[in-house]
A and B are shown apart, each in its own frame.
Chain A
Amino acid sequence: MPKVSLSPLERQLMLPLVKHGWGFWALVSGLVAVIGLGVYAYTIQLEYGMAVTGLRDRISWGLYVGTFVFFIGVSYGGTLVSAVLRLTNAKWRTPITRLAEATTAFSLLVATTMIIVDLGRPERAASLFFRPQLESPLVWDFVAIMLYLVGSLIYLYLPLIPDLATLAAKMPRRRARFRRRIYARLAAGWRGLPEQRRALARGIGAMTVLIIPVAVSAHTVTAWVFGLTLRVGWHTALLGPYFVVGALFSGVATVILVMAIVRRALHLETYLTPVHFRNMGILLLVFNVALFYFTLSEYLTAFYGGEAADVAWVSQLARGPYAVLFWGMVLGGFLTPLVLFVVTRGRSIGAAVIAAVLVNVGMWLERYLIVVGSLSTPQTPAEVPLYWPTWVEWSVLAASVAAFALLLVLFGKLVPFVSMSEMAEAEGIPEPVAEPEGVVS
């Protein structure tokens, strides 16, 4: 039998990859069931058309588009935590970079799916390739998001390479022969050579610098899909940066949430410490204040000007049919997380998790209200019906969240959530270049 030596770090981080308890199977079954419900609802939509949704000619964008914008925003967490903190050489980021990068890639995958669902006729997505209207921001939104998705996948893959090589060499052969071969292929012949390290560092460095503007462009162009439309609540120069700050806010919250779940489920308390939650909480606080400033600026400008349409829009949100959602967003999504963090001084992981959940719910509401609130404001004297999603839309929404969770869960069963190579480097554990005879035969 070949001899394989595992360091304590490798042993702990690789254990979840081979050990699947009943909790794992229960979680996967539950998520698959929710996704199945969403797929069933979608088949109903395909068969009977968009009439099974609450969308109509006046309010043609609703829950689907709001969720799309939300998931695009969630993807920012990875970009920020991984790229920005990597660029600024913040050492504390090491255990959470992979979680963040995976969050980015999977949220983008789900976001693109939501747009296909919203099309109603999914085959019409092909028109973006065959009959693109270059004057339309929708086309450029597609281009920006695709570039962001491809970039995120590359950015997720590059730092994985050393770990993939370790997994190919050290996974138990009896139980993971096929997986070892896949790992070996994906590891691209990684042997930890100095030249290989330099090449990989060059690739990661280039992507680190590039992924930030690509991410900003993706969300700005998404904002322009709304902002370039002459509609009250949308047609504002503020919308691009407003979307970006909101995305950072929800992205950081999602990473905190994923960190907490992974820490608890995989017993990674050694690596994901209260310091990480506190630092992420500080980031959350900063973006909370920034987003509150943008929100206040947006609504005050619209209301104070006194234009009839603007006043109608703000009134509809503040005291109209969407008031509960709007004030729920402000109080639950902005103020309560702020209070929670200040009261606990960022030292409570539980408070950070509650804040992250509230922020995510609040930011989803914010996206929903941006889309539906503006479309519900009449542009003509005709009566505009209120929009409320049907069970089909709620099912697809639930499936999208479940799909995001399932992708993360499966990802965590294929590679460690915490980068073994980066942790070893951070802890100063030397990685031998020359292969000692007999260790791996």
Chain B
Amino acid sequence: MKFAGLGLVVALALLLSAGPASIRAEAEETALFPFVESLSVTVDGVVGGTEYPAAGVFVDVRTGMVIRAAQDGIDMAVALTSPGTGWLSVGFGRPGVVMDGDNILMGFVSGGTTVLTDQFGLGLEHAVDESLGGRDNVLAAAGTESGAGTTIEFRFPLDTGDPYDYRLQPGRTYGLMFAYAATADDLVTMHTSASLALVTIEPDPSRIPTRIASLALEAVGTPVEGGAISLNVLLTGDDGLPYAPAQIGFYVNSSVGLGLLDFVDVDPNGTASLNYTFLTSGPVPFVARFDGDLDYLPANATLTVVAELAPRESPFLALDFAARFLVFTVLASVVIVYLFAIGQVGLVWRLGRRAADGKGPRGGVSGARDDVADRKEGQH
């Protein structure tokens, strides 16, 4: 699908922009889906004056698209507006990741009919959930179109339970992707403009988490350079029972801070696993983090695994040894030549002494005066 070009173009746009766009997005371009007690949005494709909270209005400068949203902790209501008359889309997923694993809602308004599809990002491609074995989880959708642009309103669950949707939890921040086509009312034409931002799902301010979860982290496998281990966590609630659904972030605690490895969903048994391959030997401090939810406070677990050196080939055959041998040979050769040159000076000296002692031919006018002769001259 030509929409797949979105990923490439977004990546290119990020490269060519003045600075790392993902960092700028974290710092500046974060939308908010505000919490409301009850969703009073009428899904009709027309944005009413008080339909969406003012805090839920976000303008994406790069594309000129506008998103208005509200959510009640269960469903979200969204009005997406583009400056074109063709298709438009919004995607939810991991921050800084272009399309892959995103839940993408893509549609258009044509002849008074609104089409909105529930799609899933596969690398830099995308496909309708149903074609992958998932479900169309759009609860309601309606759109309007005019010369000034296109608006599609829709209602969608924050957590559909569908593996081909991205679960959104209150209190968390996710990647947000915008794209639209200027005129094409289809799902295949290349986008006109695309952009990345972030979105925070506001938690219910009246629900402050107080419960304490426990997180246990273990490594399974032999930690060796070039080998892989499985990092396993078990998340349990304050009742001692496995806690799910939840998401665990796996990190390496480097000298410059936490480096994200991946986010993994906790299964019904409260466990989540991640494979890690050691590129080098030495200690690697891992951190597993549960960011908390409406009931539970965040929890961390740390584990340092020391990877052993991988077995080497026989030292005699190893390139390392050959290189050292070559370097030693070259250096030794240079030193030998130096000694040879200095040795010639020694030979010159011995020949001179023999001549001075009358055992060989005597030197000429340029012959050096030795100290004894010089002292004799001094006595004169």
Contacts and interface: CB of A to CB of B under 8 A. Distances in A.
Nearest to B345: A188
A181 B370 CA distance: 8
A381 B19 contact: yes
Interface in B166-196: none
A200 B355 CA distance: 16
Contacts of B378: 173, 177
B84 interface: no
A421 B348 CA distance: 16
Interface residues of B, number: 42
A440 interface: yes
A93 B80 CA distance: 82
Given A154-B341, A381-B19, A168 B368 contact: yes
Chain B interface SS verdict (over half)? helix
Contacts of B353: 189
B323 to A, nearest CB: 10
A188 B364 contact: no
Interface in A67-86: none
A283 to B, nearest CB: 26
Contacts of B362: 191, 434-435
A325 interface: no
A184 interface: yes
Contact of B351 (A184, A195, A204): A195
A199 interface: yes
Interface stretch (A157-165, A269-277, A336-344): A157-165
B351 A147 contact: no
Residue among B331, B349, B365, B371 with the highest chain A CB neighbour number at 10 A: B365
Contact of A200 (B331, B344, B350, B371): B344
Given A169-B368, A180-B374, A190-B368, A158 B345 contact: yes
Nearest to B324: A134
B366 A5 contact: no
B310 interface: no
Contacts of B342: 154, 203
B364 A192 contact: yes
A151 B368 contact: no
Interface in A188-233: 188-193, 195-196, 199-200, 202-204, 206-207, 210, 214
A158 to B, nearest CB: 6
A147 B345 contact: no
Contacts of B344: 158, 199-200, 202-203, 206
B16 to A, nearest CB: 7
Nearest to A197: B348
B268 interface: no
B259 interface: no
B2 interface: no
Interface in A28-58: none
B369 interface: yes
A344 B356 CA distance: 55
A433 interface: yes
A184 B334 contact: no
B352 A196 contact: yes
Interface of B: 15-16, 19-20, 23, 331, 334-335, 337-338, 340-353, 355-356, 360-371, 374, 377-378, 380
22 contacts: A147-B334, A154-B341, A154-B342, A158-B341, A158-B344, A164-B368, A181-B374, A184-B374, A188-B345, A188-B348, A189-B348, A191-B355, A191-B362, A191-B364, A193-B363, A199-B344, A199-B351, A203-B344, A210-B338, A214-B334, A434-B364, A440-B365
Given A192-B367, A199-B348, A433-B363, 8 more contacts: A143-B331, A164-B368, A169-B367, A189-B368, A207-B338, A207-B341, A308-B16, A435-B364
